[in-house]
Amino acid sequence: MSKRRFSSGWTALHIYGAAFLIFLYAPLALITVYSFNSNALNMAVWTGFTFDWYRTLFGMQPAGAAFDAAFTENPDRIFGVLRNSLIVALSASAISTVIGTATALATARYDFVGKRIYQALLFMPMIMPDIVLGIALLIFFVGVGFKLSLATIIIGHCTFLSSYVYIIVAARLAGMDNTLEVASADLGAGPVTTFRRVTLPLIMPGVIGGFLLAFIISLDDVVITYFIAGVDTQTLPLFILAMVRRGIRPQINALAVLLIMFSFVVASAGLYFRSRRN
Amino acid sequence: MAERSTISSQRRKALFVLLTPITLLLGAFFLIPLGIMVVYSFLEPGLYGGVVWSFYPYNYGRIFGWPLGGGEEFEPLYIQIILNSLYYAALTVIVTLVVCYPVAFWVSRMGPLAKNIVLFAITLPFFANLLVRIYAWLLLLRPTGAVNTALLSLGIIDQPLNMIFTEFAVIVGLVYVLTPFMFLPIYASVERLDWSLVQASQDLGATPFQTFRRVILPLTAPGIAGGCVIVFIPALGNFIVPSFLGGSKVQMTGNVIERQFLQARNWPFGSTLAMIVMASVLLLVLAYTLWMRRAANNERLAGAGHV
């Protein structure tokens, strides 16, 4: 009797869980379907399958005969924006990976005065609302006379990405004892050799995972970039923001789908490395 | 003795190398900018977006009604917007909590493979671009959007429902974007839940509701509290969700801050509003830390009592 009640509750929970997953993915699936809909006027009504929104996004000729020229995007802009985004994401995540990993090594392997202050400080950029960090950096850069550019975006991203990498690598170091490092030191290896030959290979999955997740968070950042990008520098999310503000057009769907797919691939790899055991 | 001092000097050198980068980064590009923002909130707005370097507490007076001076007037609108933002953030916390809590139990009772797959599926949308995720809800909720088109063609309604640019749309958007933040901490505490205690409670004749209230809820409270804090914070400062899904009808503090910086160009007043957001966040985090510390102490004392 009671077992039966439990199993009906379990069925209800299954249905609820499935509904939750649908809630998470349905909006993304909707954009994907829309991005292949040839109906230029009303996305919600299906008129046929097309690749035109993807083709015109990159300046290729549309295959559909009745194609409105107003829907084409200037491909040079898109490639420029893409380049900016990749430069920012690669530099910011590489710098943050080095800084975050170094910090994680310090807090995991050494005791020093003010360690708890550092640990608290490292959480601050992650809990600070994006808008506060964005405007604080804007005031600072303008105040000290830094020209807003790709460099200011990279610096801005490093302030919060270093904390992400720190947390991922520190978690890995916490789950690992230092026997091998001690052994290596006892055998006469210097600290640099020990790091290169013993510690780094052991924490490598965490470092790669941290780098990939930092990369994708940087690539997708909207709010902080929005404030410190300046007028003539645009990243992909800012480009999409400007497109949406000009009016909803089917090409936004195509660009959105490409961005989601790319993010999902990189983030999956990052999550895999982060959780991998040696 | 000599060897020992080489080791300690080596240690110091290593620590110096490891900690200098983060110290410079967070010092120069995090603490100093926030400090300057605090200073700006006490400066007089100049003409054409500049500032006048004189002590000027009246930016706060414009919001709270005191102190007033320098031609600033009390504008109750801002208190209203701040209270609204707190209300939307709180509502987002409650909805995400109610949505995620049962899901955490669902996932925790799965087999290892299914569990890993579902956990991955719940985490992944967090990495889809924020704008794209909000844009999707614009496509769903607008008058010619997917929801209205479906309901109209099924004959359930004969006029499009007015969903976009409402409080409802803003809450839905915030909930959608912040759900992973609530789910993960709750899941972590449900996963650690000791089911033998639940069994014991049932064996001793507790009703399911009593078991939930007296056993399950207190044991998962740390996860609930953590989730609430990390959902509330980004919800409070959000401006992308209300500007996409709230239009000009639903305003949050973030929208006002954005306008002060990019349109009205009154940076001191924008900094003042940002200070209020930052102060609320820091207070909340402080309260959470103290609460967690007390909970940990209580647990230790209870543990000692058993022995």
Distances B291 to A126, B221, B231, B286 between C-alpha atoms, Å? 20, 11, 17, 9
Cβ contacts of B140 on chain A, cutoff 8 Å: 27, 30
Cβ contacts of B136 on chain A, cutoff 8 Å: 27-28, 30-31, 256
Residue A224 token pair = 């902080």
User: Is the CB of residue A39 less than 8 Å from the CB of residue A66?
Assistant: no
Q: Do A227 and B261 touch (CB under 8 A)?
A: yes
Residues A20 and A132 in one domain: no
- For residue A226, the enclosing domain spans 75-275
Residues A224 and A141 in one domain: yes
User: Is the CB of residue A183 less than 8 Å from the CB of residue A152?
Assistant: no
B19 is a domain residue = no
- Would you give the end-to-end CA distance of chain A in angstroms? 46
> Which of B13, B139, B181, B203 is most worth mutating to test chain A (most A CB atoms within 10 A of its CB)?
B139
CA dihedral (A44, A48, A49, A52) in degrees, to 10, reads -80
Distances B23 to A162, B29, B38, B292 between C-alpha atoms, Å? 11, 10, 21, 27
Residues A96 and A214 in one domain: yes
Average pLDDT over chain A, rounded to whole? Answer: 89
Bridge-based pairing state of the strands B51-55 and B43-45: antiparallel
Q: Do B135 and A244 touch (CB under 8 A)?
A: yes
Check residue B305 and give its pLDDT: 52
B163 is a domain residue = yes
> Which of B13, B19, B149, B163 is most worth mutating to test chain A (most A CB atoms within 10 A of its CB)?
B19
User: Is the CB of residue A125 less than 8 Å from the CB of residue B25?
Assistant: no
For B15, which residue in chain A has the nearest alpha carbon? Answer: A106
* C-alpha distance from A66 to closest chain B C-alpha (Å): 22
* C-alpha distance from B37 to closest chain A C-alpha (Å): 6
Over residues A229-256, the pLDDT tens digits come to 988 899 999 999 999 998 888 889 999 9
Domain of residue A105, CATH code: 1.10.3720.10
The yes-or-no verdict on residue A67 having pLDDT over 80 is: no
The yes-or-no verdict on residue A4 having pLDDT over 50 is: no
> Which of A31, A97, A131 is most worth mutating to test chain B (most B CB atoms within 10 A of its CB)?
A131
Which of these three, A45, A67, A89, is where a domain ends?
Answer: A67
Q: Do B102 and A129 touch (CB under 8 A)?
A: no
B222 is a domain residue = yes
Complex ipTM, two decimals?
0.92
Residues A48 and A81 in one domain: no
Q: Do B22 and A24 touch (CB under 8 A)?
A: no
User: What region, left, alpha or beta, does residue B265 occupy, with left being phi > 0 and alpha being psi -120 to 50 degrees?
Assistant: left
CA dihedral (A157, A162, A165, A170) in degrees, to 10, reads -160
* C-alpha distance from B66 to closest chain A C-alpha (Å): 23
| pLDDT tens series, chain B, 307 aa | 455 567 688 888 889 999 999 999 999 999 999 999 999 999 999 877 789 999 999 999 999 998 888 888 899 999 999 999 999 999 999 999 999 999 999 999 999 999 999 999 999 999 999 999 999 999 999 998 999 999 999 999 999 999 999 999 999 999 999 999 999 999 999 999 989 999 999 899 999 899 999 999 999 999 999 999 999 999 999 999 999 999 888 999 999 999 999 888 899 999 999 999 999 999 999 999 999 998 888 877 776 655 4
The C-alpha atoms of residue B3 and residue A270 are separated, in whole angstroms, by: 42
* C-alpha distance from B189 to closest chain A C-alpha (Å): 17
Check residue B197 and give its pLDDT: 92
For B125, which residue in chain A has the nearest alpha carbon? Answer: A24
Check residue B3 and give its pLDDT: 55
The yes-or-no verdict on residue A65 having pLDDT over 90 is: no
Check residue B1 and give its pLDDT: 46
Residues A54 and A99 in one domain: no
Q: Do B128 and A14 touch (CB under 8 A)?
A: no
Query: A with B: how many residue pairs have Cβ under 8 Å apart?
Result: 216
Residue from the list B149, B240, B257 with its beta carbon closest to the beta carbon of A45: B149
Residues A51 and A93 in one domain: no
Residues A261 and A176 in one domain: yes
- For residue B91, the enclosing domain spans 75-262
Cβ contacts of B237 on chain A, cutoff 8 Å: 129-132
Cβ contacts of A227 on chain B, cutoff 8 Å: 261-262
Check residue A59 and give its pLDDT: 77
Residue A87 token pair = 């430069």
B249 is a domain residue = yes
The domain total for chain A is 2
The C-alpha atoms of residue A267 and residue A208 are separated, in whole angstroms, by: 11
Distances B171 to A177, B95, B174, B210 between C-alpha atoms, Å? 45, 9, 5, 32
Helix ranges (DSSP H) in chain A: 2-35, 52-57, 75-109, 115-127, 130-144, 150-174, 179-186, 191-194, 200-220, 223-228, 236-246, 250-275
pLDDT range class, residue A2, cuts 50, 70, 90:
very low
Residues A128 and A207 in one domain: yes
Instruction: Report the largest interatomic distance among the alpha carbons of chain B, rounded to a whole angstrom.
Output: 89
The domain total for chain B is 1
Check residue A1 and give its pLDDT: 38
* C-alpha distance from B307 to closest chain A C-alpha (Å): 29
Mean of pLDDT values over A196-208: 92
The yes-or-no verdict on residue A70 having pLDDT over 90 is: no
B283 is a domain residue = no
Query: Which residues are CB-contacts of B95 (< 8 A; sequence separation ≥ 6)?
Result: B171, B175
Q: Do B240 and A25 touch (CB under 8 A)?
A: no
B84 is a domain residue = yes
B156 is a domain residue = yes
Count how many Cα atoms sit within 13 Å of the Cα of residue B227 in the half-sphere of its side chain. 30
For B101, which residue in chain A has the nearest alpha carbon? Answer: A17
Check residue A22 and give its pLDDT: 97
Question: Which three-class secondary structure state does DSSP give residue B55?
Answer: strand
B14 is a domain residue = no
